[in-house]
Chain A
Amino acid sequence: MTACHGVAKSISIAFYGRDKFAAWEHPLNRAETSALDWPDVIYSNFRRAGIRQVGYVPDAGLSRLIQLCQSDPEIEDAVLTTEEEGIGLVAGAALGGQRAAILMQSSGVGNCVNMFSLVKQCRLPCLMFVTMRGEYAEFNPWQVSMGSITDACLRLCGFLVYRIEKAEDVADVVAAACDISFDSNQLVAVILSQRLVGRKRWNN
């Protein structure tokens, strides 16, 4: 690595604010990494990657991850009226030198299709976490229409799609997804399968 390259890289990291995240302990963090649930693993990767904005439309499966982001003073959380707003949010964040992520349910992917052109045409990083409905032990048939085409839809729109079925794969895949999205300016969707997230309980 040349000295010149090293300087450029340090400027880039400072611009994206990753350096502000050294040694900060979140109150909701659990002590043992091996015992973390998948929302905690994703959240700890948000910290590691220096993500400063998180837009979301709530889903029952995302509630703990949303709670972790809301209680972090270094992360601006934005509740959205529709998932497509999140694409504008991450684009604006990237233009302003910050990293951002979007959380949504699979039905929200369909709402975003034309908006994806923004991050694709401008080659901006776009990192999304999608909890699945309509694919496994689904109670509501209306969820199946979008759930059955979510992966294909994302690929058609130019996303790298990483599907997670098992809890033991979460840490590796989420870390890799964060890295390739921000280091290589890619559109990346991490699909959290309905089997991983668990059945929605209707009678509680």
Chain B
Amino acid sequence: MLHRREFVKQLLFERGDLLVICGLGTPTYDVAAADDDGSNFYLWGAMGSASMVGLGLALAQPDRRIAVFTGDGEMLMGLGSLATIGVKQPPNLAIVVLDNQHYGETGMQPSHTHSGISLVDVALGCRFKEARSFEKAEEAPLAREMMYSRPGPLFIHAHVAAQHLEQVLPERDGVILARNFTDRLRVGGRQ
């Protein structure tokens, strides 16, 4: 079982010009704790949309790598988007699901993955180029290599422990988040 915050920190370490879309809930705190950067866009609502925001961005910015970080609950609400991504085959898009098998924000109710529903099988069925599960901390370099170097669409499924960690709260105002993101993109890369 992975420690979610350590795993995200390892994926975002020295991230270069990677663009990040973050689904609502606990992944927000993990991404903000690892690297709260203007090239992150946090969704504080619109549950189920993170992967599609990633697709629209990937199509608009074909020369940049895009990573969507989200949880199992958010991914389950947007399963159809995996099929839509499979049709478009964006080579620069990676979906990273931090799967604790629970709805962590609402009282830790078990999610569908707790009953053995396999998101990796869904992603493979949706023609993702590669879809893998990760359970051990020492596998993080392989997940990094996938996310930064291999042709997408990629699906990185992280088995993370169900635990409550300190909430690290980034900006919540959507106008500011969108403006910061597009401003950073206009001037190019990280500053």
Contacts and interface: CB of A to CB of B under 8 A. Distances in A.
Q: Do A and B come from one complex?
A: yes
Interface of A: 11, 15, 52-53, 76, 78-82, 84-98, 100, 114-115, 117-118, 121-124
7 contacts: A78-B88, A93-B59, A93-B60, A95-B53, A96-B61, A121-B175, A122-B177
Which of B57, B61, B175, B182 is packed against the most chain A CB atoms within 10 Å?
B57
Interface in B40-67: 41, 43-61
Contact of A96 (B174, B177, B185): B185
Contacts of B56: 53, 88-96, 98, 100
Interface of B: 21, 41, 43-61, 78, 80-81, 83-84, 87-88, 174-175, 177-178, 181-182, 185-186
A114 B46 contact: yes
A96 B61 CA distance: 6
Given A11-B186, A15-B186, A91-B56, A118 B49 contact: yes
B53 A92 contact: yes
Smallest CB-CB A-B distances: 4 pairs: A92-B56, A96-B60, A88-B52, A81-B80
Interface residues of chain A: helix, strand, loop or mixed (majority): helix
A85 B78 contact: yes
A91 B61 CA distance: 13
Contacts of B59: 52-53, 76, 78, 92-93, 96, 98
Nearest to A82: B80
A81 B81 contact: yes
A181 to B, nearest CB: 15
Given A95-B181, A118-B46, 17 more contacts: A11-B186, A52-B59, A53-B56, A80-B80, A82-B80, A84-B48, A85-B80, A88-B56, A92-B21, A92-B52, A92-B59, A92-B60, A96-B59, A97-B182, A115-B49, A118-B53, A122-B174
Contacts of B57: 92-93, 95-96
B44 to A, nearest CB: 8
Nearest to B175: A123
Given A84-B49, A87-B49, A78 B55 contact: yes
A98 B45 CA distance: 22
B21 A78 contact: no
Contacts of A15: 182, 186
Contacts of B175: 121-123
Contacts of A87: 46, 49, 52
Which of B52, B61, B84, B181 is packed against the most chain A CB atoms within 10 Å?
B52
A118 B53 CA distance: 10
A92 B46 contact: no
Nearest to A53: B59
A115 B55 contact: no
Contacts of A124: 178
Contacts of A118: 43, 45-46, 49, 53, 174
Contacts of B55: 78, 88-89, 92
A92 B178 contact: no
Contacts of A53: 56, 59-60
B45 A121 contact: yes
A78 B78 CA distance: 16
A88 B50 contact: yes
Given A53-B56, A121-B45, A94 B83 contact: no
Contacts of A79: 84, 87
Contacts of A88: 46, 49-53, 55-56, 78, 81
Which of B45, B53, B87, B177 is packed against the most chain A CB atoms within 10 Å?
B53
A81 B61 CA distance: 23
A87 B84 CA distance: 13
